[in-house]
Amino acid sequence: MSNKYFREPYQPGARKKTAAPMKTRGVNYKIVDEEGNPAPDSVIERARENRIFYPIKKDEKKPRAIKRIRRANGGRSKDTQPPKTKKYFRSTKSGAGMTKAGVARYRRDNPGSKLKTAVTGKVKPGSKAAKRRKSFCARSAGQMKKFPKAAADPNSRLRQARRRWKC
Domain boundaries, the chain: 5-62, 119-167
* pLDDT for residue 5: 73
Q: What are phi and psi of 165, to 5 degrees?
A: -80, -5
pLDDT in tens, 134-152: 999 999 999 999 999 999 9
* pLDDT for residue 145: 94
Beta-strand relationship, 27-33 and 5-9: antiparallel
Rounded average pLDDT over 12-16: 55
pTM: 0.52
Count CA atoms within 13 Å of residue 7 on its CB side. 15
* pLDDT for residue 133: 96
Tally of CB atoms within 10 A around 5: 20
Whether residue 90 has pLDDT greater than 50: yes
